[in-house]
């Protein structure tokens, strides 16, 4: 998604230098699946390990964005779940107030709705069915489909673009940090990079408190390839073509050995080959 092309209207619009997706630290349900049967999903808290993970993530992110910049700023968006709020609080300890442009709780960044309380046996069955049926289309009994998460994440991204267009982030060294969940972060990437449902199904979620860095290139494209190597991108489930596309977005067609287009869908192989008589009426 090229925000330069979308937002170019003759005005001096500053685009955020980076968009950083952060998955919350380890929570009690990650450590013990039985928690889902006694505590509402949105009230599940971090473990002591998760708290320490979040603190270390804050240190690593600050080092990354401040290493070569003197005027850097951060703006935080956070899911309303207790575990994401606590993750942000721990991350925030690494950032002086003067560097923080703002914090906004964003309900559309919440986790997939699994319904209400569940016993461990039903959760295991649901997760197995999601894999075989397809995580995008599968509806959790009493909850959401992945497609519905995609729709609300898409709506959030449109609002993010509006905030950028309205010059909410005037500092050229702005870093947007989004603290969210495993599925929501994958849906963000799917929407942002126009990935197909098939490509989404092959993605793997980040580890707890892991983060993904989308950095702006000179051509107005954000890319994962600036800060993450091929091994890490493969670990997250990107195919070789998707990895090459990230490099294309980062460095442009002349920066790497690129022989294709950057915005193609693998299932669109139905068109006829070019020919001299292509305008002939059949």
Task: Supply the residues annotated as catalytic.
Answer: 24, 111
DSSP letter (8 states) at residue 39: S
Give the Cα separation of 192 and 196 in Å (integer): 11
Residue 68 labeled ligand binder: no
What 3-state class would DSSP assign to 175? strand
By CB atoms closer than 10 A (0-12, 13-18, 19+), residue 86 is: buried
Six token digits for residue 35:
């928690």
Residue 26 labeled ligand binder: yes
* CA distance readout (Å), 6 to 67, 164, 263: 30, 11, 16
Residue 29 labeled ligand binder: yes
Give the Cα separation of 61 and 221 in Å (integer): 21
Residue 27 labeled ligand binder: yes
Residue 28 labeled ligand binder: yes
Rounded to a whole number of angstroms, the distance between the first and last alpha carbons of the chain is 38
Q: Which of 212, 213, 221 is nearest to 194 (CA)?
A: 221
**What phi and psi values does residue 263 have, to the nearest 5 degrees?**
-130, 70
Residue 24 labeled ligand binder: yes
The distance from CA 236 to its chain's CA centroid, rounded to whole angstroms, is: 11
Residue 23 labeled ligand binder: yes
What 3-state class would DSSP assign to 212? strand
Number of DSSP helices (H) and strands (E) in the chain, helices first? 10, 6
Residues annotated within a binding site: 23-30, 83
Binding-site positions for substrate: 23-30, 83
């Amino acid at each position: 998604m090229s925000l330069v092309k979308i937002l170019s209207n003759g005005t001096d619009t500053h685009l955020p230098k980076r968009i950083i997706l952060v998955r919350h630290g380890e929570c009690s349900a990650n450590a013990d699946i039985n928690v889902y049967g006694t505590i509402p999903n949105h009230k599940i808290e971090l473990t002591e390990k998760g708290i320490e993970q979040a603190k270390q993530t804050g240190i690593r992110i600050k080092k990354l964005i401040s290493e070569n910049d003197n005027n850097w700023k951060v703006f935080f968006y956070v899911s309303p779940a207790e575990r994401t709020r606590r993750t942000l609080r721990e991350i925030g300890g690494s950032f002086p107030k003067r560097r923080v442009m703002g914090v906004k709780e964003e309900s559309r960044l919440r986790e997939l709705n699994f319904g209400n309380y569940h016993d461990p046996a039903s959760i295991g069955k649901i997760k197995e069915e999601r894999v075989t049926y397809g995580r995008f289309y599968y509806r959790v009994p009493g909850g959401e489909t992945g497609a519905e998460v995609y729709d609300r994440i898409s709506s959030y991204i449109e609002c993010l673009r509006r905030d950028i267009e309205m010059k909410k982030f005037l500092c050229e060294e702005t870093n947007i940090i989004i603290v969210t969940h495993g599925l929501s972060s994958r849906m963000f990437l799917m929407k942002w990079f126009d990935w197909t449902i098939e490509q989404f199904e092959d993605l793997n979620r980040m580890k707890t408190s892991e983060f993904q860095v989308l950095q702006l290139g000179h051509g107005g494209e954000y890319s994962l390839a600036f800060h993450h190597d091929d091994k890490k991108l493969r670990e997250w489930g990107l195919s070789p073509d998707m990895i090459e596309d990230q490099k294309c977005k980062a460095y442009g067609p002349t920066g790497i050995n690129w022989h294709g287009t950057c915005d193609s869908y693998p299932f669109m192989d139905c068109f006829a080959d070019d020919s001299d008589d292509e305008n002939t009426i059949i």
